[in-house]
Amino acid sequence: MRYNYSIMLFSASLIIFSCATQKAITSFDQWDNDLNGSINHHEFISSYAASGFIRKWTGNDAMNYQELYDKLFQGIDSNHNYFINKNELHARSRRTYLDTTDTVFIDYDKNSDQNINHEEFVNHLISNQTALMWDTSTDDRIDEQELAERMFGFCDLNSNKQVEELEFYIWEVNR
């Protein structure tokens, strides 16, 4: 676990290095309100809410399940060909919290053509009630608070309930 984490940090440094000039990155210091060198849960949730991501995505203050499924599909389909292949599913497992083992791929791919189309993807998510992992208040919509909670989990790679600078930039760069 420790080993994997170091590898992840190492590859992330390379990504940061290679992307830094191409992409405007939110500053860590803006989110670390008390400037103590790490972003705690409260700092993360309030900064995330203030940044208005859902509104930018959907034009609304919450997204419905269909929008969540679309966002997840687009996020995993890295080459944007409207199909998810095995590699794409595996590569994005951590970002999406989806189970992505080979057996699971077969579950998605109902017509066994080695690709997951949008309909297969959505049907699988519906039958597994995946949206409820995001929609903790179960009101059929995912609001900024719920999205922020989920993102905090993504971001805090070593699960110590603090987001350190490198964790923050790994998340910034990958999302």
Give contact residues for Ca ion (rule: CB under 5 A): 32, 34, 36, 77, 79, 81, 83, 109, 111, 113, 115, 120, 156, 158, 160, 162
CB 95 within 8 A of CB 140: no
- Considering the complex, what minimum distance in angstroms separates the CB of residue 54 from Ca ion? 24
- Considering the complex, what minimum distance in angstroms separates the CB of residue 5 from Ca ion? 10
- Considering the complex, what minimum distance in angstroms separates the CB of residue 145 from Ca ion? 19
CB 166 within 8 A of CB 12: yes
DSSP state of 143: E
- Six token digits for residue 121: 């993807």
- Considering the complex, what minimum distance in angstroms separates the CB of residue 77 from Ca ion? 4
Residue 38 is inside which H or E element, if any? strand 38-40
- Our CB check for Ca ion shows the closer of 109 and 144 to be 109
Closest-CA residue to 48 (of 166, 159, 154): 154
- Our CB check for Ca ion shows the closer of 41 and 58 to be 41
- Our CB check for Ca ion shows the closer of 120 and 144 to be 120
- Mapping DSSP to helix (H, G, I), strand (E, B) and coil, where does residue 25 land? coil
- Our CB check for Ca ion shows the closer of 83 and 134 to be 83
